Structure 1
Amino acid sequence: MSARQILLGVCGLLCLGLGLVGGGVGSLVTEVFSGTGADYKLMMVLSAVALVAAVPVVVSGRERNLDQAETPDPEVPVDVPPAGREFDETIQGWRFRTPLVGISTRKQVKRRLRKAAVEAVMRAENCDRSRARRLVRRGDWTDDSEAAAFLGNATQSVVRTTAAALPRRVTPVEYRVRRTVEAIYGLERGDSR
């Protein structure tokens, strides 16, 4: 609390005390009250009430009673997995790689890739969905024979695919999937088919 607040508070209390007690300086107070009208007396009463109401305000203005708000912690960026992470985990998982167990997983991946290829062909060739499906089904949407065989009706030698996949240490199905993804990505970028 500042010295000014204390001084004003003491002055206000002294004025209030003088006004209320008034007996010690009775003749002066009586002359002031008798020479004034009713409206002035009302103002004096209201002033006294205001001074009494000011006492708690002055007392509550102390620094030790002051609770300041603390700033919250700054926002931090949310960790988001990179795009395609779930897809990569799916094709690297044991369910996808196992020949008999992963049939449903491979079908699901193939369905997703076929849909992505059809949409990429639609954008690249500026054609409707039915024509894009025909291109993907026939294998005419890309020059990559592995990708065309994986999504279309074209046949591709399993021996040749296995021979290409072994040095990369991936299964033949995973090799075809990755080649298909690269072909779709190339088509989206505008590279030649």
Structure 2
Amino acid sequence: MTAHRRGPLLVGGLLFVLGIAMLLVRGIANLVSVDWLVDQLGHDYLVIAGFGLVALFLALLVILARSLYGFEQATPPTAESVPTGVPLGAQIDHVVEQGLHPYEHVTGRSRATVRDRLRQTAIETVRRVDGCSSAAARAAVSAGEWTDDQAAAAFLADEGPAPLAQRLRDALPRGSRFQDRTARAVTAILERDEQGGDR
């Protein structure tokens, strides 16, 4: 707490304590009596006007202090940032149109991200179209029973990562089947989704 805030709080606290003491102890009220001031000025209205002038002067001091020190405002919360990176839909579109880099085949992370996203989309599509539970939809996708396209069904059936030998083969020039399987899985999911729209 700054010094220009401690002063008014201290004065206000002392006045509050003095007011409570005047209510509880009669002798203190006699000590702060303004009768002598009324006798000096000749009228009680002049005493009230004097208190008003003092209050106005104090208010002007507060305004002056505020203008010199400025207002302390609360720090606003940090605005939410937009997540950076490539959206998964855009990543799948990129795989369908251009395929993956050989390094991405070898490491397997991008492959797993694309395949897991397609697998989850297929499960959600089957659940919505068939009106079944998520567990039943997951079982249908794992068994390859959700589409007539055997390549798409096999591509999304296994939950684990592709074997290293397959990833190395896909990393060879024109050796990748991942791009074709991704495109066929996307087509199969869209066809399954259209079945739900026809109902």
TM-score calculated relative to the size of structure 2: 0.43
Identify the structure with bigger relative contact order (alpha carbons < 8 Å, sequence gap 6+): 2
The structure whose Rg is larger is 1
TM-score calculated relative to the size of structure 1: 0.44
